[in-house]
Amino acid sequence: MGTMKVEVAYALANEQKIIPLQVAEDCSAYEAVVQSRIADFFPQIDIEHDPMGIFGKAIADPKQHILKPGQRVEIYRPLIADPKEIRARRAAKAKAEREAQS
């Protein structure tokens, strides 16, 4: 069984890190992230739950997704809050204020 080169990437608003590494040919996206030790640099990464993708396309199950040579695994940070949730909270707050005034 040979090895192949892949990359693991994580980006914040103001910095990004791309870690090249050699992995076994049957390496999953999840295993590559573990081997890259990228979470040592970014403790906010939750490799068990953060979404991952390859070149901007999300993958459903990083533990089952076997990489191809040269691919880059990207770890996506969760949105701070879902826009729909923000609107719902704003509407609830406005309603509470209206009720308080009447």
Residue range 13-45, pLDDT digits in tens: 888 999 999 999 999 999 999 999 999 999 999
Lowest mean pLDDT among 4-8, 51-55, 71-75, 90-94: 90-94
Mean pLDDT confidence for 58-84: 88
What confidence score (pLDDT) does residue 65 get?
97
Overall domain count for the chain: 1
Mean pLDDT confidence for 56-82: 89
Domain CATH code at residue 11: 3.10.20.30
User: In terms of residue numbers, what domain contains 77?
Assistant: 3-101
* pLDDT exceeds 70 at position 80: no
Half-sphere exposure of 74 (CA within 13 A, CB side): 13
Residue whose entry in the numeric block shows the structure tokens 């040919």: 25
β partners of residue 8: 19, 73
Query: Could you give the dihedral angle defined by the CA atoms of residues 31, 22, 7 and 53, in that order, rounded to the nearest 10 degrees?
Result: -30
Distance CA(42)–CA(44), nearest Å, equals 5
**pLDDT over 70 percentage in the chain:** 90
Q: What is the 3-state secondary structure (H, E, C) of 22-43?
A: EEECCCEHHHHHHHHCHHHHCC
What confidence score (pLDDT) does residue 1 get?
73
